[in-house]
Amino acid sequence: MSSLIWLPFLPLLGTLIPLITARFSRTACAFMTAALPALTLFLVLTHAGDIFQGERFQAALPWIPAIGLELAFRLDGLALLFSILILGIGLLVILYARYYLSAKDSIGKFYSYLILFMFAMLGVVLSDNLIQLWFFWELTSISSFLLISFWGHKTEARKGARMALTVTGAGGLALLAGLLILGNTVGSFSLQDVLDSGELIKASANYPIIVVLVLLGAFTKSAQFPFHFWLPNAMAAPTPVSAYLHSATMVKAGIFLMARFYPALADTDLWFMIVSLTGLATFLVGAYIAIFQHDLKGLLANSTISHLGLITLLLGMGTDLAAVAAIFHIINHAIFKASLFMAAGIIDHESGSRDMRQLNGLWKYMPYTATLAMVASASMAGVPLMNGFLSKEMFFTETLHQASLGSLSWFIPVLATLGGVFAVAYSMRFIHDVFFNGEPINLPKTPHEPPRYMRVPVEILVGLCLVVGIFPSLVVGDLLFAAAEATLNGPAPTYSLAIWHGFNFPLLMSVIALLGGLYMYHNRHHMFKFQAQFPTSDPKLVFEGVIQYLTNKASRIIAFTENGSLQRYTFFVLAFAIVMTASTLMKLNTTAGQRPEIPLDALSITCAVLLCVSALATVLWHRRRVIALLTLSVVGLIVSLAFAQFSAPDLALTQLSVEVVTVILLILALFFLPQNTPKESSPRRVVRDLSLASLIGGVIGTISYALMTRPLDTISTFFTENSKTGGGGTNIVNVILVDFRGFDTLGEITVLGIAALGIYKLIAKMRLYMPSSDDNGLAWSEDRYPILLAVISQSLLPLALLVSAYIFLRGHNMPGGGFIAGLITSVAIIQQYVAHGVDWIKTRLKLDYQIMIGSGIGIATLSGLGSWVFGHTFLSSWFDYFYLPVIGKFELASAMVFDLGVFLTVVGATMLILANLGQLTTSERPIQKEHD
């Protein structure tokens, strides 16, 4: 059973083989490529016996069961039939392509794409889950794009591939929407559940939407009218691709989809109307156009469209027997059309042309190939003793037994017969125009028979045409029956696969079709003359025009929304955010919650007033940048006071030291940036921004207030309880940082290091204009390093480092720790830079800050990895208490090593940024004028 899971993945593995073996001879490559598909075919066939007995194999690997995602495969009659077609014809195509492709073509790449496509197709037919089915469906579109565009140097190959991808890809999106609605309606994405819920689906209000969307997917894939135009354009592909994709597999995927969902979606008036009328239109249009093609492959492509229409029409008739006929015709069409494409490829390959105006009288040059092609054509035309005749007879019979159009139902058999007439006419053209009808005209090569083994696949397929045509129930009886049962999700109707049913109406229709077709072909010159009166419209040009139009419209919309103004984008993003939050906030009934508030005191009010005044001053004077910076630093100081007041000493210390480095950074930056901002916002923009900013501020304030006045249900109890016993420290914040959430901290210091290195790279080679005076024209002070500052800072350094060490060591139990100690150390070093200049420091302090960052992150990671040695998870900490004389009891914890890493990273990162920026003011003096 589990082998079923691997079934489609064997070919996936096989995509690598041609790439590896392409270095050997082409024959070796072909054989090795064929090995895995052959094995897969063998495995599939081992299940055949049980399936004929009515069994169904299913296997699934759950992935995300909660939302119905799983890797699920099923092998029932329908899947078996399609698997045999995909793998069997695929193997023949591998053999055929070995001879078809020239030495210039990369055979490894070709086979790899081909096998990838085979994998995708197998995935589609074996899927037991809707989403998974869709995934493989899209994969067939993509891999067929690669195959059609295999000769990418040709314009028509690129255009054809793009068109095929656009049409089938768009259909795929519709299908996805349809399948999602379908899955939600049923409540399950499992295919079996969907097939068993036919009644529920048809009763649902979503039914019409589902049917239309799913059928859009099927019709685009199977080139049904009006989406049929991509198929003839895809003929730019190498012929083995056409033989495979456009006869047996890819275009049949749409048919497969309709057959697969037949029990779930069919059997309603809506289905019959859409499916049968689309099928009928496609059947007639394709057959009619086929007659007038001069390109051999163009004729076959349009005939394929017509036959796909025929199958669709059968699936839309609504009788069980029609469904059986449809499946039978799937088999027959795959066999004769693949052989015809291959024959066309041989003719093209050995004569150098596919144009039927040049190809004449080839019978003399390649009698053997001609015979094979004629038999296959006869099958396409529906001549007795061929397989095509049998299913066409069944088709004619079913057209007589349907009533989908009410009193107008008699139209269908009449039009079906007309389509049959066309089919005989174009089949006749394929035989007579190519193999007889005088002598070849201006062929690039003298035609001759192909290599022996190039003919083998055609021989096998033509042989099948005859064998199935003569002994139908013996050869395909079981397969057809099993597939029909799977399609109907119930017992198959009784039918007879005999050649002779006596003189009856369908036989008469066949006879009319044969004679009418011969007559039509005989008088083809009149028809060509008649057809020439119509203006020719190339669907390719129309399609390209539509695409061009859409592209132009899209770029106009983009030009409107994306005008390159960051201010505008920021405004849009913020406005959108406010709409989203405010609408949710309105649902909250009261602003204030139940939690009692802390009473106000005078100091807090004073601080708050100071904060508000400085914040407003920053905004008010933001164009005078130095002043704005000063008021900003006041805001920062009060924020750190706020942290101190509300019981967060660690935060207060951090904020304070960060404040210092931030202000130094911004002052340094201001040296290089203009010191004033020009007034350029229009009053309208100021009002707009002010309104938005106040609105957001109000909303954030409201959320904050609502949050704070509501009771808290925290998860921090765990940390409080385990801080001492589990982490060995009494400062819970620090224990969280270095122990409980140590992995987060590791990530954070890594980000810090990356940011610092990024800044270092940005600073390097920065060519900045250095002003020699401030904006008011005042020269800078001559006294670069005031002696007083130098003396004091020098004596402060050891003190600062001592404080830093103290803060670091006590961090685990009292406010402090690596972050804060690192920042204090940085401030102490920066002070030396400020007091003495970079050159003075450089000779005395030889620290490589990059190495410092690296070793910091390294130490932190290693301290985490260390716990693996003792069999614990990453970053588990260890601690114990020791006694030393003089010092007394002290604690050692592995978390301190981690904190050391944090310390080093913080110092390294801060210094790398500031020291390098500061260096710009001294050693490097790029003398460059402004260019604005």
Partner 1 sequence: MEGLYAFCVGLLTACGIFLALRGRTFSVVIGLTLLSYAVNLFLFASGRLKLNAAAVLGESEQYSDPLPQALVLTAIVIGFAMTAFAVILAMRARADLGNDHVDGTLPAQPGDASKKSGGSQ
Which residues, numbered 894-923, are part of the site for partner 1 (CB under 8 A)?
Answer: 906, 909-910, 913, 917
Considering only residues 199 through 258, tell me which ones interact with partner 1, judged by CB under 8 A. none
Binding to partner 1 by residue 624, rule CB under 8 A? Answer: no
Handedness of CA 416, 420, 425, 427 (dihedral sign): positive
Give the interface size with partner 1 as a residue count (CB under 8 A).
123
Q: What are phi and psi of 62, to 5 degrees?
A: -70, 145
Q: Which stretch binds partner 1 (CB under 8 A): 186-194, 381-389, 755-763, 779-787?
A: 755-763
In the bound state with partner 1, the residue whose beta carbon lies nearer, of 369 and 745, is 745
Within 55-94, which residues bind partner 1 (CB under 8 A)?
A: none
Pair 143, 137: CB distance under 8 Å: no
**Both tokens of residue 816?**
């402090």
Question: For 830-833, which contacts have Cβ atoms below 8 Å and span 24 or more sequence positions?
Answer: 830/661, 830/664, 830/910, 830/911, 830/914, 830/915, 831/793, 831/796, 831/797, 831/800, 832/793, 832/794, 832/797, 833/914, 833/915, 833/918
Q: Is 637 one of the binding residues for partner 1 (CB under 8 A)?
A: no
- Rounded to a whole number of angstroms, the minimum distance from the CB of residue 716 to partner 1 is 5
887 interacts with partner 1 by CB under 8 A: no
Which residues, 525 to 564, sit near partner 1 by CB under 8 A? 564
Q: Does 125 bind partner 1 (CB under 8 A)?
A: no
> Under the criterion CB under 8 A, does residue 459 sit at the interface with partner 1?
no
Stretch that binds partner 1, among 146-154, 175-183, 515-523, 662-670 (CB under 8 A): 662-670
> Is residue 579 within the footprint of partner 1 (CB under 8 A)?
no
Are the CB atoms for 586 and 614 separated by under 8 Å? no
Q: Which of 489-497's residues contact partners 24+ apart within 8 Å by CB, and which partners?
A: 489/195, 489/196, 489/198, 489/262, 489/263, 490/263, 492/320, 492/324, 493/320, 493/321, 493/324, 495/321, 495/324, 495/394, 497/390, 497/472, 497/473
Q: How far apart are CA 580 and CA 621, in angstroms?
A: 32
519, 411 in Cβ contact below 8 A?
no
Tokens linked to 469: 């045509």
Q: Is 294 in the site for partner 1 (CB under 8 A)?
A: no
Residue 340 interacting with partner 1 (CB under 8 A): no
Minimum distance from residue 906 beta carbon to partner 1 (Å): 7
Binding range to partner 1, per CB under 8 A, among 357-365, 437-445, 639-647, 888-896: 639-647
Helix axis angle for 742-763 and 849-869, nearest 10°, is 160
Q: Which of 222, 312, 618, 804 binds partner 1 (CB under 8 A)?
A: 618
Considering only 212-220, 381-389, 618-626, 869-877, which stretch makes contact with partner 1 by CB under 8 A? 618-626
Decide: is 677 part of the binding site for partner 1 (CB under 8 A): yes
Residue 841: beta bridge partners?
A: none
> Under the criterion CB under 8 A, does residue 713 sit at the interface with partner 1?
no
Binder of partner 1 out of 379, 731, 831, 832 (CB under 8 A): 731
When asked if residue 616 is in the footprint of partner 1 (CB under 8 A), the reply is: yes
DSSP state letters, 470-522:
HSHHHHHHHHHHHHHHHHHTSPPPP----S---S-HHHHHHHHHHHHHHHHHH
User: Is residue 574 at the binding interface for partner 1, with CB under 8 A as the rule?
Assistant: yes
- Residue 270 touching partner 1 (CB under 8 A): no
Q: Is 679 in the site for partner 1 (CB under 8 A)?
A: yes
Task: Indicate the residue among 705 and 879 with the shorter CB distance to partner 1.
Answer: 705
Q: Give the span between the Cα atoms of 228 and 285, in whole angstroms.
A: 9
Among residues 159, 540, 741, 842, the one that binds partner 1 under rule CB under 8 A: 741
* Residue in 504, 552, 645, 922 binding partner 1, rule: CB under 8 A: 645
Q: Which of residues 773-832 bind partner 1 (CB under 8 A)?
A: 775, 813-815, 819, 823
Contact 392, 416 (CB under 8 A): no
Among 525, 529, 767, 846, binds partner 1 (CB under 8 A): 767
Task: Report the nearest approach of partner 1 to the CB of residue 804 (Å).
Answer: 15
In the numeric block, which tokens belong to residue 509?
A: 């229709």
Long-range contact pairs involving 771-777 (C-beta distance under 8 Å, separation at least 24): 771/671, 774/675, 775/674, 775/675, 775/676
Nearer to partner 1 among residue 32 and residue 809 (C-beta)? 809
DSSP type of residue 814: S
Of 358, 489, 702, 867, the one binding partner 1 (CB under 8 A) is 702
**How far, in Å, CA of 517 to CA of 421, rounded?**
4
Tokens of 108: 């490894």
Q: Could you say which of 32, 418, 665, 796 contacts partner 1 (CB under 8 A)?
A: 665
Q: Does 743 bind partner 1 (CB under 8 A)?
A: no
Please report whether residue 930 would count as binding partner 1 according to CB under 8 A: yes
Chosen residue from 719, 808, 833, 849 binding partner 1 by CB under 8 A: 719
